[in-house]
């Protein structure tokens, strides 16, 4: 399995942010996306996940082969931890949620309504969801927000396990995940030139 991105350009709010971007992610690989606030990491991930159209370029992997973890945890507040996971597992044709619960240290919280979880516990549940999708490519936006050091380590182990099974991960993160094997993809070289404002008029200066 491989995702090949070729000469991609994307925009947000009508402004081009990224242009001329090409890279590949293959099964067994983790790619960490780096760039300052506002540089377009979320925009790139949304584009790859098919949530917004690219301005131009090609993405070889269809959204059906990936799972996208956004800033929001995407939980159903009144469902329990186990019910939330079962819901997602059913959508993806999976049954066994026990390994996902155990991997993100949620077994003891299985019966708790999601709305009563702490921010870090909610994030752990959001990440456990990845494990019941069966998708090979994980596209993740700041996956470790709200996690304490122990949970970051748990998550790194989950990612490593996914890679070992031939999966891949593309993650925007500002923190060190402790995944020494991850490649870093800097956004800076692909910063799009700002369009010239055709309505500019010196008389108004
Ligand atoms: N809904 C929106 N409408 C218009 N512009 C937006 C919208 N969302 C984000 N932007 C702008 O698009 C640019 C890129 O934002 P994006 O969220 O992709 O950056 P980022 O690299 O993920 O930032 P951060 O590190 O802060 O999460 C920013 O200048 C931002 O203000």
Every domain of the chain and the residues it spans: 2-193
Does the Cβ of 43 fall within 6 Å of ligand 1? Answer: yes
Q: What is the pLDDT of residues 77-93, one digit of tens each?
A: 999 999 999 999 999 99
| Complex-level ipTM | 0.95
- Span from the CA of 67 to the centroid of ligand 1 (angstroms): 21
Q: What is the pLDDT of residues 102-124, one digit of tens each?
A: 999 999 999 999 999 999 999 99
Cross-strand pairs, 6: 58
Which residues contact residue 114 at a Cβ distance below 8 angstroms, ignoring those fewer than 6 apart? 75, 76, 77, 78, 79, 80, 81, 84, 122, 125
Does the Cβ of 13 fall within 6 Å of ligand 1? Answer: yes
Contact between 13 and 63 (Cβ < 8 Å) = no
Q: What is the pLDDT of residues 22-55, one digit of tens each?
A: 999 999 999 999 999 999 999 999 999 999 999 9
The CATH homologous superfamily to which domain 2-193 belongs is P-loop containing nucleotide triphosphate hydrolases (3.40.50.300)
Residue 204 has pLDDT above 60, yes or no: no
- Residue 201: the pLDDT is 58
- Span from the CA of 51 to the centroid of ligand 1 (angstroms): 14
Q: What is the largest CA-CA distance in the chain?
A: 68
Average pLDDT, the chain: 93
Under DSSP, is residue 187 helix (H, G, I), strand (E, B) or coil? Answer: coil
Nearest-atom number in ligand 1 for the CA of 174 is 25
């Amino acid at each position: 399995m491989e995702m090949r991105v070729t000469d991609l350009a994307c925009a947000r709010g009508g402004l081009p942010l990224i242009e001329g971007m090409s890279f590949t992610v293959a099964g067994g690989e983790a790619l960490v996306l780096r760039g300052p606030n506002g540089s377009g990491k979320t925009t790139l991930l949304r584009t790859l996940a098919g949530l917004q159209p690219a301005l131009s370029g090609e993405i070889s992997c269809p959204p059906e082969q990936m799972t996208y973890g956004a800033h929001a945890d995407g939980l159903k507040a009144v469902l329990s931890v186990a019910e939330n996971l079962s819901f997602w597992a059913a959508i993806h044709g999976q049954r066994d949620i026990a390994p996902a619960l155990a991997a993100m240290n949620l077994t003891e919280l299985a019966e708790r309504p999601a709305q009563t979880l702490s921010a870090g516990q909610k994030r752990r549940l959001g990440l456990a969801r990845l494990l019941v999708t069966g998708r090979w490519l994980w596209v993740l936006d700041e996956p470790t927000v709200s996690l304490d050091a122990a949970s970051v380590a748990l998550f790194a182990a989950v990612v490593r396990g996914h890679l070992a099974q031939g999966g891949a991960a593309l993650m925007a993160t500002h923190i060190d995940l402790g995944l020494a094997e991850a490649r870093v993809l800097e956004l800076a070289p692909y910063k799009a030139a700002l369009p010239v404002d055709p309505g500019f008029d010196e008389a108004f200066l």
